[in-house]
Amino acid sequence: MHSLEGVTRPDQYRALGLSTFAFTVCFAVWTIFSIIGVKIKGELGLSDTEFGLLVATPVLTGSVSRIFLGVWTEQFGGRIMFPLQMLITSVAVWLLTSVHTYEIFLLAALGLGLAGGSFIVGVAYVSQWFEKERQGTALGIFGAGNVGAAVTNFAAPFLVVALGWEGTARVYAIVLAATAVLFYLLSKDDPAQAARRRTGARPVSAAEQLAPLKNIQVWRFATYYFFVFGGFVALASFLPRYYVGAYGLELTTAGVFAGLYSLPGSVFRALGGWMSDKWGARAVMYLTFFVSLLCLFVMSYPQTSYTVAGIHGPITFHMGTSVTLFVALTVVLGFVMSLGKAAVYKHIPVYYPHHVGAVGGLVGMIGGLGGFFLPIGFGILLDLTGVWTAPYMLMFVLVAVSTIWMHVAIRRMEKRRHPALGEEVFLSDVPEKPVAKPGAQSAPAAKGERLRPAE
């Protein structure tokens, strides 16, 4: 880890505040199709599968771009990459208003999706400003920029009513471009970039940055993020459509109810970071998965009527989830998913302090791909089954598989013989040892240290 000598608390708060604000704006742009897509669906007469693909396309770009943006941020710094990414995205959002066919909408959505790549740029930038003991909390606060999805769910429906979906897109493009300019003017080079400029050291090569991706552990973290982040993006985009179709609500009401899911799914990420610093990311992940399984089980139950032959004639029973209960369940689900998002990213700067961009980019990419494939899966399930709750059944299966894999991997790690001490220990009882800097020799673990499992 680079030295933080000379870095003041105001410097840290400036970097964290600017990055969180910029990420909030980017995330609001990234999820704009969850609202304007409903209008576009009606204008173009799209099927649920086509609508799911349209909503998911920006997520594809935002996901795949993360691994490249992460590497470039490590090389050139967040002060350069963040504004550049926002300016390019703002142009794509503005051009969206001149599109009239479904195929071109998909192409425009690819450009808009760069907004999602802002996450790894911010993670790589913010993590350089904070000590290891405070990185979980800092990254949790930054990740609360997911609240941008709630901003879109709450505000965009009213903008659409007042300005139309084209006017809404123009407003978003202007705000994004202005944010890019403000970020560049007000931010500073992170300590790693500043030190590199002073010493004339060369940036770490892309090959060195990508070296840790061969570890299975990295891919396991990515799988968790497929649900806690990818599932969050998918539901934030799908819920307005679900409320309109399943409960017959107006778009403005549906947007507000979807925002009630997105809001706790965003702002409590800071709490998740603090909990991960205090009690460990593993405990937070167990909490996330168990509560999610319970919520999704109830949400998956379709509206059902039973008729039995009674003594005095047929007796009909109706079972289903009321809109009030459903909204309450989404609030709880969003809350625990926000904790899980922070818990996943707590690991990365600790295990891989010199590879945050590449490792965090891969984890973010896989998580974002969940936000791409899940809406498409939702649309296909709706078209094939005709059951409104089928998407939540898919989510339940995903969480169940993730929970089982995590538990099996943890038990295998806990039973593994500690190579330095020559005895079996519970690895959860000793601190983690991060991966060495590229080219550096790894010192043997001292008693009480945890070696990073090779898995």
Kindly provide the residue ranges of all beta strands, DSSP E only, lying in 76-147, ordered along the sequence.
none
For 339-381, what is each residue's pLDDT tens digit? 998 888 777 766 676 666 677 777 878 887 887 788 888 888 9
Kindly state whether residue 233 falls inside one of the protein's structural domains. yes
Kindly state whether residue 293 falls inside one of the protein's structural domains. yes
Angle at 145 between CA 142 and CA 148, to 5 degrees: 175
Kindly state whether residue 365 falls inside one of the protein's structural domains. yes
Kindly state whether residue 386 falls inside one of the protein's structural domains. yes
Kindly state whether residue 42 falls inside one of the protein's structural domains. yes
Domain count across the chain: 1
> Which regions of the chain are under pLDDT 50?
1, 417-418, 420-436, 438-455
Say which CATH number the domain at 398 has: 1.20.1250.20
Strand pairing category for 313-319 and 304-310: antiparallel
For 78-95, what is each residue's pLDDT tens digit? 888 999 999 999 988 888
Please name every residue paired with 418 in a beta bridge, in sequence order, or none if there are none: 423
Signed CA dihedral, 52, 53, 58, 64: sign only: positive
In the 8-state DSSP scheme, what is residue 227? Answer: I
Assign residue 280 a region (left: φ > 0; alpha: ψ between -120 and 50; beta: otherwise).
left
pLDDT for 447: 37
For 108-163, what is each residue's pLDDT tens digit? 888 888 888 888 898 888 888 887 777 778 888 888 787 787 788 788 888 888 88
pLDDT for 214: 67
Kindly state whether residue 450 falls inside one of the protein's structural domains. no
Residue 357 half-sphere exposure, CB side, CA atoms within 13 Å?
A: 28
Signed CA dihedral, 118, 119, 120, 122: sign only: positive
Residue type, 343: A
Strand pairing category for 423-424 and 417-418: antiparallel
Alpha-carbon gap, residue 230 to 43, rounded angstroms: 28
**Tokens 């001292």 label which residue?**
446
Q: Residue 278 is part of which domain span?
A: 9-187+205-304+317-415
In the 8-state DSSP scheme, what is residue 439? Answer: T
pLDDT for 85: 92
Residue 175: how many other CB atoms lie within 10 Å: 15
Q: Is 228 exposed, middle or buried (0-12, 13-18, 19+ CB in 10 A)?
A: buried
Q: Cα-flanking dihedrals φ and ψ of residue 310, to 5°?
A: -90, 175
Kindly state whether residue 420 falls inside one of the protein's structural domains. no
For 186-202, what is each residue's pLDDT tens digit? 988 888 777 777 776 66
Helix (H) or strand (E) holding 313: strand 313-319
In the 8-state DSSP scheme, what is residue 432? Answer: B
Residues making up the chain, counted from first to last: 455
Q: What is the pTM of this model?
A: 0.66
Kindly state whether residue 22 falls inside one of the protein's structural domains. yes
DSSP per position, 203-244: PPPHHHHHGGGG-HHHHHHHHHHIIIIIIHHHHHHHHHHHHH
